[in-house]
Amino acid sequence: MSDTMQPPIETNAPMIEPEEVAPSPGRTKAGNLFEAIAQGAQFQTSLHEEMEELPCVVNVEDFNLWYGKSQALFNVSLSLPIGKVTALIGPSGCGKSTLLRSVNRMNDLVDGVQTKGSMTLAGESIYAAGADVIELRKRIGMVFQKPNPFPMSIFENVVYSLRIAGIRKRSILQEACEQSLQRAGLWEEVKDRLRSSALQMSGGQQQRLCIARAIAAQPEVLLLDEPCSALDPIATGRIEDLIEELQGEYSILMVTHNMQQASRVSAYTAFMYLGRLVEYGPTESIFMNPHLSETEDYVTGRFG
Amino acid sequence: MSQTPEQQAESAKEIRDAMRVVPQVAHGEPAVWLAGGALAMAVLIITGMVGLIVYQGGRAFWPDPIAKVRASDGSEHLGEIQQVGSVPADEANGGAKRVLLRSENFRWSGSHASWIVTDPNFEPTYPEWAVLVELMEEGRIIGQPTYFRVDGKVLESDPASVWAAYNEHRGQISERTREIERLTKGTLAKLTNRQADARLNARKAELEYGTDSAEHKQALADMDALLASLAKEQSDIDRKIADLEEINHRYEIGFLFQDGTEVFRPMADINRMVPANRLTLVGRLGVYLDRWREFLTEDPRHANSQGGIWPALFGTVVMTMIMSIMVVPFGVLAALYLKEYAKPGFFVSLVRIAVNNLAGVPSIVFGVFGLSFFCYIVGAQIDEWFFTASLPNPTFGKGGILWASLTLALLTLPVVIVATEEALSAVPQSMREGSYGCGATRWQTIQRVVLPRALPGIMTGMILAIARGAGEVAPLMLVGAVKMTQDLPIDLSQAPYLFPQRSFMHLGFHIYDLGFQSQDSEAARPMVFATTLLLIGIVVGLNLGAIWLRARLRRRFRAAR
Ligand SMILES: Nc1ncnc2c1ncn2[C@@H]1O[C@H](COP(=O)(O)OP(=O)(O)O)[C@@H](O)[C@H]1O
Ligand SMILES: [Mg+2]
């Protein structure tokens, strides 16, 4: 009874399913590494050599994160290549969202979060003592799992970042609005009702609106946290097309649960497990020719 | 504790069997009846009460026909029939009918209505020329208009021609009455104000430069000069008024009561004469609407039991509006701090409990607090700083509409805080995150995303606060509501136009005063119902306005589903 009385708690942090953690008796090799990780053994990310001298925009080094006493990220080192789409895959609860939200310091909003290690955006430290979080977030666009348009008109939604940055000039706002909606493939659908409420759009449209909102501020990096998981297949297809189009212009870090999606839109893929970055390399080799059998098990669906 | 397969099957069967037999109570039928019954009861009581008020208030101004009833003892009585019943068999005249007749003429007969015992098969008649007269200051009379007199000479002596003469002269006479009113209320009141100002200036000079200083003497001389000239102006006006009154008093109407009394009244004393039995339906409707107009737009007369309630209506609305303007921003900011800024913990819980408990404090306690804090501390201090010259007469140091509004704002603060907190909690976390993700600061997020989204809920709080505040009476008696005042808190004919220090009339207090405090509450009964209806109407109206606004806001935020 009392369960139904509670307000729904919004979370994008699903609990770890016990079966995922438990070693599967059939695959000895895979079971061994996962079991070792679960027991807290030290281990080295398997980094493909193609990744080594890529120019990158975000650089994560030996990053650790704790929610209170429980550690969610362990010594993660990852560099995000400029102008490419990088996919983050891994079972639920392995820390993908946590890593993503660490990049624009959204985890600051959670009580009791502590971090260790370094992270840089275009060479500037993100977690340095004097770093300006507001400025940082303006340089990084973020799109969430569930579309979250604001309770205002479509137009105001798109130009929200510009408004809070103090831009008042109508012509600039209008230009930015049109451009972003064009980029998000939404312009034709909404150009006649820019003044109407954004909450009246369909889920897929709302998510594309959120993407338009994220790119309106001309960010250097786009963070997408399972942007299609709340959408139907057609809307998903449109968003995937959109992400493909956006690469080159933006450096994108995207969490996904959908292997086809990862292999289709991303140039690089990182596989995480229990807070560790297990393997990181070009998408093709991660899917066709992974270094670790654990990665192979995961991407082929034999595990997780 | 391992079980054999047989044992397992056994216990599974047990559970299955138990599941199949559902006890009667578990169907929940009795609970449905209980809950439904409680609801029906509540609805019945509420509709009953509202129905009574709407019925009584709605018909209060309807002109009833005037009946002539012959009593068993042969006497005849004139009045409005209010109720017809039978005399119980075990009393004297058992079996006879009795009629509750509202015969008015209180000043002469000492009663408004009386039970008349009649024959069982009595038939009232409706004399054509029975009229109901509303006097300016002496209540209402019922009789026949039989004389029209000018300068003491009877010019007409049958009802029809008296009625015609009355209508012919009525226009000019009320014209003069209005002129007198304009002179007393406007010109004369301004003169009085200027006299008071002159005295105040002299007193200021005395306070500032010392008694008998040159400045003080100068101010006194100025004052005397001004007072002298004002006195002349005043006597001019007084003469004008006396002239007008004299002309008006030359015209008189004579009425014959059913008991044979003859009464003459100057036409200027007659507010309205209703020949109730001659009126067509349209005519009745005209009288009805005109009475409502008078009720809503005019000042009270005859110890509030007649005339209008305009000052009370105005006072109530203004007070409610000042209260809302005070309480909403204040409560919303407090709730914002509690919800968005303060770290949840012991202290915040403590504050929250305190706020919730504040809602349960008896309202008279707020009144006492308002009187001692706002009037006697804040108000007295204001007087000392800015109104020294008029001391020891308090300006702000007594009850007034500002203090009353503040007291009610305090009283309704918990309602607004609780509602706003709930509204803020209902704003999805994902929306805030979206805003922070765009690089918004906390205040920008609150201002642009959280507050707009929470606005409908905040409006709900405001609605509840208005409903609570507009109907509250007890604390007002201490902090500024009065029985009678014609000075409105907003007066555009007099600088500085806003008078937040003025005491005011309030509909709730007016109901209490009319119904329970006046010596003549029977006469005021229709007014009590009409005023109650109006107060409920205002509360409902304010609520509907806010609900409409909220619905409009909600529509903007509703997602397509
Ligand atoms: N706000 C939070 N407070 C405490 N623990 C959290 C919070 N968010 C996530 N976690 C925990 O951190 C781990 C990683 O979560 P998350 O990054 O959401 O996983 P993923 O996105 O990969 O499914 C999980 O064990 C989860 O329970
Ligand atoms: Mg997640």
Q: What is the pLDDT of residues A65-84, one digit of tens each?
A: 999 999 999 999 999 999 99
CA distances from B223 to B199, B208, B214, B280 (A): 7, 16, 14, 61
Taking 60 as the threshold, does the pLDDT of residue A103 lie above it? yes
- Stretch (H or E) spanning A79: strand A70-81
Instruction: State if residue A51 touches ligand 1 by the CB under 6 angstroms criterion.
Output: no
Whole-number Å distance between alpha carbons of A271 and A276: 9
Residues B413 and B338 in one domain: yes
Ligand nearest to the CA of A13: 1
All structural domains of chain A, each given as residue ranges with its CATH number in brackets, are 57-127+220-304 (3.40.50.300), 147-219 (no CATH)
Nearest protein CA to atom 2 of ligand 1, as residue: A67
**Gap between the Cα atoms of B190 and B192, Å rounded:** 5
Query: In terms of pTM, does the model score above 0.80?
Result: no
Query: Is the pLDDT at A11 greater than 90, yes or no?
Result: no
Domain annotation covers residue B143 = no
Mutate one of B421, B438, B554, B558 to test the A interface: name it (highest A CB count within 10 A): B438
Q: What is the pLDDT of residue B120?
A: 79
Asked if residue B491 and residue B410 are part of one domain, the reply reads yes
For residue range B122-175, what is the model confidence (pLDDT) as tens digits? Answer: 888 898 889 999 888 888 889 999 889 888 888 888 888 999 988 888 888 889
Burial class (CB in 10 A: 0-12, 13-18, 19+), B47: exposed
Reported as a single tens digit per residue, the pLDDT across B365-422 is 999 999 999 888 888 888 888 877 777 777 787 888 899 999 999 999 999 999 999 9
Question: B95 pLDDT exceeds 90?
Answer: no
- The CB of A96 under 6 Å from ligand 1? The reply is yes
CB contact under 8 A, B434 and A150: yes
**Chain B positions in Cβ-Cβ contact with residue A160 (cut-off 8 Å):** 435, 438, 440, 448
- Which residue's CA lies nearest to atom 18 of ligand 1? A13
Tally the domains of chain B: 3
Is residue B316, in this structure, part of any structural domain at all?
yes
DSSP letter, residue B376: I
Flag whether residue A193 sits within 8 Å of chain B, measured between CB atoms: no
Q: Is B360 a domain residue?
A: yes
- Shared domain check, B189 and B104: no
Q: Which has the minimum average pLDDT: A19-33, B262-276, B311-325?
A: A19-33
User: Which of A162, A167, A239, A245 lies closest to A206, judged by CA?
Assistant: A239
- The CA–CA distances, whole Å, from A170 to A138, A174, A177 equal 20, 6, 10
Minimal CA separation from B450 to chain A, in Å = 9
Question: Do the domain assignments include residue B30?
Answer: no
pLDDT value for B556: 65
- B101 and B187 housed in the same domain: no
| Interval between CA B306 and ligand 1 midpoint (Å) | 73
Size of the A and B interface in Cβ pairs below 8 Å: 86
Give yes or no: residues B340 and B461 share one domain. yes
Between β-strands B300-301 and B262-266, what pairing exists: parallel, antiparallel or unpaired?
Answer: unpaired
Closest by CA to A291, choosing from A301, A278, A302, A300, is A278
Q: Which of B254, B272, B294 is the last residue of a domain?
A: B254
Least confident segment among A45-54, B50-59, B64-73, B234-243 = A45-54
Burial class (CB in 10 A: 0-12, 13-18, 19+), B156: buried
Q: Is A272 near chain B, with CB under 8 Å?
A: no
Interface check A218 vs B, CB under 8 A:
no
User: Where a domain ends, among B233, B254, B275?
Assistant: B254
Which tens digits make up the pLDDT trace of B12-46?
888 888 888 777 666 777 888 899 999 999 999 99
Give the distance between the most distant pair of CA atoms in chain B. 122
Are B168 and B225 members of one domain?
yes
Is the domain of B161 the same as that of B209?
A: yes
- Search chain A and give the residue with CA nearest B451: A151
What radius of gyration do chain B's Cα atoms show? 33
Looking at residue B70, its amino acid is R
Cis omega (within 30 of 0) on the bond before B392?
A: yes
A97 lines ligand 1 (CB under 6 A): yes
The encoded tokens of residue B341 equal 């800024």
Q: Does a structural domain hold residue B497?
A: yes
Domain span holding position B77: 67-126
Average pLDDT, chain B: 85
Question: Which of B437, B557, B559 comes nearest A137 by C-beta?
Answer: B437
Q: Give yes or no: residues B385 and B496 share one domain.
A: yes
What pLDDT shows up at residue B558? 58
Own/partner contacts of A125-129, CB < 8 Å, gap of 24 or more, are: none
Which residue would you say has higher pLDDT here, A92 or B302? A92
Co-location of B154 and B87 in the same domain:
no
Q: With an 8 Å Cβ cutoff, are B439 and A151 in contact?
A: no
Residue B387 lies in a domain: yes
User: Cα separation of A291 and A269, whole Å?
Assistant: 13
Does B391 map to a domain? yes
The distance of B342 to chain A (nearest Cα, Å) reads 13
Instruction: Examine residue B142 and state whether it is found in any structural domain, yes or no.
Output: no
Q: At residue B513, does pLDDT exceed 70?
A: yes
Asked if residue B421 and residue B323 are part of one domain, the reply reads yes
Instruction: Please report the atom of ligand 1 found closest to the CA of residue A98.
Output: 17
pLDDT tens-digit map of B219-256: 788 888 888 888 888 888 889 889 988 888 888 899 98
CB of residue A92 inside a 6 A radius of ligand 1: yes
Domain boundary among B231, B254, B277: B254
**Same domain, yes or no: B112 and B162:** no
**What is the C-alpha separation between B123 and A185, in angstroms, rounded?**
87
**What radius of gyration do chain A's Cα atoms show?**
20
Residue B69's nearest CA partner among B78, B60, B80 is B78
Same domain? For B157 and B88 the reply is no
CA distance B524 to B510: 11
